Amino acid sequence: MLQLYVLGPAFGLPSIDAECNAAVALLKSHFGPDDSAWEIIPTHHHETTLPYLRSDDNRTLHGYGAIFEYLSTTSSAQNTLTPTQTADSTAITSFLNTHAPTLLSISLYVSSENYRHATRPAFTALLPWHANYILPPRRRAAARALTDHLGVSSIDVDNVHEDSGSSSGGVGKDPNREGFEAQAKERASLLLPRKDTVRSLLQRPEHAAIFKLHAVAEEFFAPLRDMLGEKEFLLDTSEPTGVDCLAYGFLALMLYPAVPQAWLAKTMREKHGGLVRFVERMHERLGLGTKAEDVLDLANCVTRDDILGRRKAKSMQLPWCPPERPTVLETATTVSKELVEQIPYLKSPPTIMPLHSIRQPVWQRHLPAILLGTAATLALGGYYAVRTGLSVWPRGEQVQIFGRKRFADYGHLGAALSGIGLLGQQAARDSAYHQQVDLEASPVNVDVKVKGDGAV
């Protein structure tokens, strides 16, 4: 049985990650209604490339591209593509991987309103307590780095505050004071009831870069709309192909999430209805609708029959399994590693963490756990030895005590020097003794007065 590991469901989709959605759609299209050949396991490994597929021969395939190549060897739809369709598939795949992540990064992570009210709560429902402090901030940092060249940081309130606090003032002015005053005035103005004007609307963070955002969106939607045209699928096939699944993975996260700043979904619905119909068609045809609470509820199942019964009761159309939960050792290792990285002068130089990190060797992934386990074992062993008396020196055995070196320890010359030192000490003691004797033998003068008949 094939096991597909993905980042958990959100926004009514199989995953909060685009490539994970694409991988689920690909396997569903490949196997159809047969749920006995594969299963989906939600996970949250932030140092592992997601999605990844574990095959029947225990091979692990990381990333959508590797999974697609593996399944294409047995997919009849992919093998029947013409050379023109194959070339179009390669071109569309490259186009999607180049432009779609930028738009998703802006919509779900860079936008402070969307991140605070939609993306972060979705992660909170999926991840264990410790992973919520690691994975979402890393993905947001990667999204900021990916979109920094576009100059749309005005929709990120955190960046706006950082810029205002770090801007330099004129001669004799305190830049921190000016930044604080400007910030205070801005906050105070937001508390005052007033009627919105064209200028005030354009000065809001979500509208400051609206023109540039629409331009970036059009650069992505317009070519993709032209490639689709009036066809049901991108390559004009009767069944979805790998490129259709990849397009669904990105477009679904642009269309379905209910976010406060829904400029991306609004652009799709108002100007590119063909793409909206394509996403909805793929969503309904493959049965990709998912409720996150139903998937998380599978964690209460004990046996395989319980899982199958819960799927049937919840009318799940995908072969979900209980979410993967970390062990105590894995949690302790992850938390310890993150805490060490935050210590000044000990952490490694700052690096940009990609949304899908590079696969690490097996020994490197498990090295922190091995080191932590070894240290804990030694500490517990020492404590047990002290408590039980195993560390007491055996009775009757000679004990070597290492003390300060003496002259006598350095051969004949040392012994001679030691003798000279002893003679000096003996002479000093004799001199002190003679002085004490002289003091005791010296005469004592006593004055005596005689009165009357000679009585003293």
Phi, psi dihedral angles at 350 (to 5 degrees): -60, 135
Confidence bin at 332 (pLDDT 50/70/90): confident
Contact 128, 44 (CB under 8 A): yes
Phi, psi dihedral angles at 267 (to 5 degrees): -65, -40
Phi, psi dihedral angles at 400 (to 5 degrees): -90, 120
**Residues contacting residue 127 through CB under 8 Å, at least 6 positions apart:** 8, 44, 135, 136
DSSP annotation of 154:
G
Residue 435, token pair as written in the block: 């002085």
Between CA 444 and CA 379 the distance in angstroms is 74
Q: Which residue has the higher pLDDT, 395 or 51?
A: 51
Of 113, 120, 146, which is closest to residue 135 (Cα–Cα)? 120
Q: What are 24-70's pLDDT values in tens digits? A: 999 999 998 888 899 999 998 767 789 999 988 888 999 999 999 99
Topology of the domain covering 2-151+227-313: Glutathione S-transferase Yfyf (Class Pi); Chain A, domain 2 (1.20.1050)
pLDDT computed for residue 276 by the predictor:
96
Angle at alpha carbon of residue 426, lines to 425 and 431, rounded to 5°: 100
Between CA 183 and CA 160 the distance in angstroms is 10
Write down the residue that tokens 């990381």 correspond to.
62
Contact 107, 118 (CB under 8 A): no
Q: What are 191-245's pLDDT values in tens digits? A: 555 555 655 655 555 555 677 788 889 999 999 999 999 999 999 999 999 999 9
Residue 12, token pair as written in the block: 């009514």
Write down the residue that tokens 């009757």 correspond to.
396
Q: What is the mean pLDDT of the chain?
A: 79
Between CA 295 and CA 315 the distance in angstroms is 11
Between CA 231 and CA 236 the distance in angstroms is 6
Confidence bin at 347 (pLDDT 50/70/90): low
Name the helix (H) or strand (E) containing 386.
Answer: helix 362-388
pLDDT computed for residue 246 by the predictor:
97
What is the percent of the chain with per-residue pLDDT over 70, rounded to a whole number?
Answer: 67
Confidence bin at 368 (pLDDT 50/70/90): confident
How large is the average pLDDT for residues 130-137? 88
Indicate left, alpha or beta for 452 from its phi (over 0: left) and psi (-120 to 50: alpha): left
Between CA 97 and CA 227 the distance in angstroms is 16
What are the distances in angstroms from CA 167 to CA 51, 91, 426? Answer: 41, 43, 80
Rg for the chain, CA atoms, rounded: 39
Q: Which residues pair with 41 in a beta bridge?
A: 5
pLDDT computed for residue 204 by the predictor:
59
What are the distances in angstroms from CA 361 to CA 6, 47, 365? Answer: 20, 11, 6
User: What single-letter amino acid sits at 251?
Assistant: L
How many helices and strands in the chain, by DSSP H and E? 20, 4
Phi, psi dihedral angles at 61 (to 5 degrees): -115, 120
- Domain boundaries in the chain? 2-151+227-313, 153-208, 328-387
Q: Is the per-residue pLDDT at 337 higher than 90? A: no
Between CA 430 and CA 2 the distance in angstroms is 97
